[in-house]
Amino acid sequence: MLKEMEKRTLIEKALEAKRNSYSPYSKFAVGAALLTEDGEIFQGANVENASIGLTICAERSAIVSAVSHGKTKFRAIAIVGSQKSPTPPCGACRQFMAEFGDFTVLLIGENEILETTVFELLPLQFNLEGE
């Protein structure tokens, strides 16, 4: 269970990360903050590219950063987009998060926070047999 204080910190960190979004094409900035099991927070922002398909979402940026620092066990991720309602992660990000198991997902809207989990967002995710 996430404590209220942890939630607040994660939300602030996701908002802070959103400010680093590189999104000149969609103008839709997204920020994410990922809490590891040992209490560290890794931030990520969406990074777009003129070759649109190469765009990397904020959630994947945060996960790549954490894994690059040797962290693969997560408790929660907060995601904030650029719309009033909470921004649900895209399908690719759901599969990417599911690689690292089930953890809390906080979707931050202007007046609303949706709390869900990775496996709730992606039931029956693809797995290699025996992994």
Chain contacts with ligand THU (rule: CB under 6 A):
23, 26, 28, 30, 46, 48, 55, 57-59, 89-90, 93
CB of residue 34 vs ligand THU: minimum separation in angstroms?
A: 13
CB of residue 84 vs ligand THU: minimum separation in angstroms?
A: 15
What is the torsion angle, in degrees rounded to the nearest 10, for the CA atoms of residue 49, residue 53, residue 80 and residue 119? -150
**Is residue 93 marked as binding?**
yes
User: DSSP character for 4?
Assistant: H
C-alpha distances in Å from residue 46, one per residue of 11, 28, 63, 125 = 16, 9, 12, 23
- Is 59 among the residues known to form the active site? yes
**Is residue 13 marked as binding?**
no
Q: How far is the C-alpha of 53 from the C-alpha of 121, rounded, in Å?
A: 23
User: DSSP character for 42?
Assistant: E
**Is residue 90 marked as binding?**
yes
CB of residue 93 vs ligand THU: minimum separation in angstroms?
A: 4
Which CB, 35 or 107, lies closer to ligand THU?
Answer: 107
Query: Distance from first CA to last CA of the chain, Å, rounded?
Result: 26
Q: Which of 16, 37, 40, 59 is catalytic?
A: 59
Active site residues: 59
Binding residues for Zn(2+): 57, 90, 93
